[in-house]
Amino acid sequence: MTFILTEDQEMLRDTAVNFTRDELPVKHLRALRDAGKNGVDPEARQKLAELGFFGVLIPEEYDGVEMSMTAFGQVMEAQGRTLASTPLLQTACIGASAILMGGTEAQKKEWLPKIAAGEVTTALALDETSHHNPAGVATEAERDGQGYTLNGAKKYVQDGHHADMFIVVARTFGEAGDSHGLTLFLVPRDAKGLTVQALNTVDSHGAAHLTLDGVHVDDSHVLGAADKGMDILEPVLDRGRIALAAEMLGSSLAAFEMTHEYMQTRKQFGQLIGSFQALQHRAAKMFTELELTTSCIAAALSAVDSQRNDIAELASLAKARASETVHLVSNETVQLHGGIGMTDDHDSGFYMKRARVQEALLGSASFHRDRYAKLNGY
Amino acid sequence: MPFDAPSDPDAFREKVRGWLEENCPESMRTPMPEDEVVWGGRREKFKNPDSKVWLERMANEGWTAPTWPKEYGGGGLTREQAKILEQEMARIGARTPLFSFGLWMFGPALIEFGNEEQKKRFLPDIVHGRTRWCQGYSEPGAGSDLAGLQTKCEDKGDHYLINGQKVWTSYANEADWIFCLVRTDNTVKHEGISFILFDMESEGVETRPIKLISGSSPFCETFFSDVKVPKDQLVGEVNGGWKIAKRLLQHERSSISASGFGSTRGTGMLELEEYAKIHVGTDGDGKLLDGDLRGRIADHQMYAKAFNLTVQRSQQQAKAGQEVGHTASIIKYAAAKMNQDKHELMVEALGTEGLGWEGEGFDRGAKMVTRGWLRSKGNSIEGGTSEINLNVVSKRVLGLRDHQ
């Protein structure tokens, strides 16, 4: 387990931090919202591709830059800092990992170079209720000769409102609740029978509900072995959870820094509010949580890179701790800013709204506590 | 035969494993009842004779202080080797041969600040458990405000003369020697403090145990009236003791954190989730029946894991030459919270079984949990209260200022 960044990783971090600060600040998200863009930003996508961010986890033979999960975590942390709405989590992490782990050579050759170039974005269509529950998939996939026919519905698909291709998880065997019997399908956005309902979400990033009504998928678009989708899905989800946790750490740090700054400028009773011990201790407690969470995320990223056998445990640890930390810090950010924190003009609200979405995606703190307990035998 | 440590980690591990196999007595591989803990010193009785043999064998290798230099009786091992030794001991459930404030706190500070003669004189006796040390820091009027201490130390030409009172002196009534903070200049605060060592059998030293809510008396009030101390027992410069005191507190806080206020391993107590499984019960899948308690146990264990990872991160950063003050500053605060939460949850998981005090009718381990829970309340008070720790983070790390 290593907690120290290499020189390359530090360089990537600096590039990413500077890029999101200069090109995708919170002001930018606000502008997208006010222009009714629902978090969709083709220009930013192009710039991310030019910087190579889509290819961090993709091997060179498929035109990626082949770095590491720890490196990717630095990019995610940077985008979390400014709440940037990008397709990186879904496409560069979840989509690329799913194809790398489950794809045939032909699928890898077809899709990975396009992902690395930012030409194709993907979205994982998994959950069907308002809570994350991978085994709960009920969407059916029935054999139909040269492939499968998919029927069902997916809820709150992150990036679903603009992704070019969906990775749809459907059931080829058993019933909702079984871990066995799931299969992954690559479904293009324009597939017949697929309806995408764009959602306006509280964080201004958007999402979509999907309806699959007799969608036909060729055998060439099955990702991995039939019925054994969970073998790919679990490790892919864990990578996604860890990357999302890194993003959440970035958001928590930025919200904390903003609050820390305010404590040292705002005066009441003729004193800086940061000189009141009641507030000092709240800041110190937040700092403690941030330090603990930083360690969990670094450990989880590093565990993926060294292919340790406790990735699942560390992924749940990272996601749960990041959820609790971003929840605490975003709430305290509003409270410690006082009245101005309640106004739309101020950024506090953006952090709190985005925090709740981050918390819910890929399993809440409660989901991961339950999973952590299971993994530890109680 | 002296152990020659191979530099290759695997070879070292193999050799350690063989050595332990041969030298660790069978009874030293069983959980340690509290009354068999070895603290060393003149009064040590070695209730279990094997623990004497075990201590001697380990001390002869310097492995009670694995990373100390060999010239002072230590093992001369690298951190990695010491880790391997620790892992191999854990593998066979070997008991810690010696508990000692000398090992955990005073020794490391003396290695850094003592002169050659002092190191040669005091360190080997610590390694071998021949001298038991106690810490003379807090006073009735100097708790959180430690630098306000008043115990007077006067230069009488050929010796120092000490008068005053300490409180919360851990095991002062059982210790042989004390490392003590004294005031050598009362016109300044931090710059008027010195660090001095003396024998607890010196004339004019008196100790009185303080009984705690847990029923035990690990702390004393300690009185000094006209205690004469030879001049070569002052460590560092006269009036230069505060720097040593602070460093020693760091060792105290890091030894507290390394042990997380004492692990349950080897004490006969079970882990939190084991108690919960036994006393709350599980369903067919092995899941705890009380879902609410299960969630809170998981939450605690994740906090504990995050804490351990943070200690590791801080160590790696220190090794890589990075600034670690920020991370270290939260360790004591987090360790106290973690240990208190653990004990609260253990008592809750035990139910009424966790509410025994003494005598028959309660499991021995459960009674230790109950006492441990009461004792853990001190974790956020001793070695700097949690409030003082939060002040330190606010002021030194976050740069938040006092009222102007």
Structural domains present in chain A: 7-120 (1.10.540.10), 123-227 (2.40.110.10), 230-375 (1.20.140.10)
Closest CA to A368 of B299, B308, B300: B299
Q: Is B163 helix (H, G, I), strand (E, B) or coil?
A: strand
Segment B301-325 shows an average pLDDT of 91
Give the pLDDT of residue B267: 55
User: Residue type at B40?
Assistant: G
Measured CA angle at A130 (ends A126, A132), to 5 deg: 50
* Active-site annotation holder among B252, B348, B353, B382: B252
Calculate the alpha carbon distances from A318 to A27, A62, A282, B243 in Å: 28, 30, 22, 38
- Cβ–Cβ contact A299 with B under 8 A: yes
User: How far is residue A314's CA from residue B309's CA, in Å, rounded to a whole number?
Assistant: 11
In the DSSP assignment, the letter for residue B354 is G
Decide if A281 contacts A216 (C-beta within 8 A).
no
Identify which of A83, A95, A79 has the alpha carbon closest to the alpha carbon of residue A13. A79
Q: Report DSSP letters for A248-312, one per residue.
A: HHHHHHHHHHHHHHHHTT-EETTEEGGGSHHHHHHHHHHHHHHHHHHHHHHHHHHHHHTT-TTHH
Work out the angle at residue A76's Cα, subtended by the Cα atoms of residues A231 and A3, and round it to the nearest 5 degrees.
85
pLDDT of residue A94: 98
Please tell me the distance from the alpha carbon of residue B153 to that of residue B143, in angstroms, as a whole number: 19
Q: Which residues of chain B from 380 to 399 reach within 8 Å of chain A, CB to CB?
A: 387, 389-391, 393-395, 397-399
Position B266 scores a pLDDT of 47
Q: What's residue B1's pLDDT?
A: 45
**In this structure, what token pair is assigned to residue B65?**
């202080």
CA-to-CA distance for A356 and A369, rounded, in angstroms?
A: 17
Q: How many helices (H) and strands (E) does chain B have?
A: 12, 8
pLDDT given at position B19 = 96
CA B278 to chain A, closest CA, distance in angstroms equals: 11
Disruptive mutation site among A5, A287, A290 for chain B (greatest number of B CBs within 10 Å)? A287
Q: Quote the pLDDT of residue B5.
A: 78
Torsions phi, psi of A187, nearest 5? -125, 115
Judge whether B203 counts as a catalytic residue. no
CB pairs under 8 A between A and B: 123
Query: Which domains occur in chain B, in start order?
Result: 9-99 (no CATH), 133-244 (2.40.110.10), 260-397 (1.20.140.10)
Q: Is the dihedral of CA B122, B127, B128, B130 positive or negative?
A: positive
User: Among B36-40, B248-252, B253-257, B276-280, which is the least confidently predicted range?
Assistant: B253-257
Tell me what pLDDT residue B69 has: 96
The predicted pLDDT at position B257 comes to: 56
Helix/strand/coil for B222: strand
Sign of CA dihedral B259, B379, B330, B322: negative
Which is it for the CA torsion B179, B182, B184, B187, positive or negative?
positive
Nearest CA in chain A to B273: A378
Residues of B in contact with A271 (CB under 8 A): 403-404
Strand partners, A170: A183
Q: Please check the confidence at residue B246 and state whether its pLDDT lies above 90.
A: no
Task: Label residue B256 by pLDDT band (50, 70, 90).
Answer: low
Query: Pick from B110, B112, B98, B113: which is nearest to B65 by CA?
Result: B98
- Do the Cβ atoms of B298 and A372 come closer than 8 Å? yes
Are the Cβ atoms of A296 and B298 closer than 8 angstroms?
no
Complex confidence, ipTM: 0.95
pLDDT classification of B192: cutoffs 50, 70, 90? very high
| Average pLDDT per block of 10 residues along chain A, 378 residues long | 95 98 98 97 97 98 98 98 98 98 98 98 98 98 95 98 98 97 98 98 98 97 97 98 98 98 97 97 98 98 97 98 98 97 97 98 98 96
- Global model pTM greater than 0.90: no
| Contact (CB<8Å) B310/A295 | yes
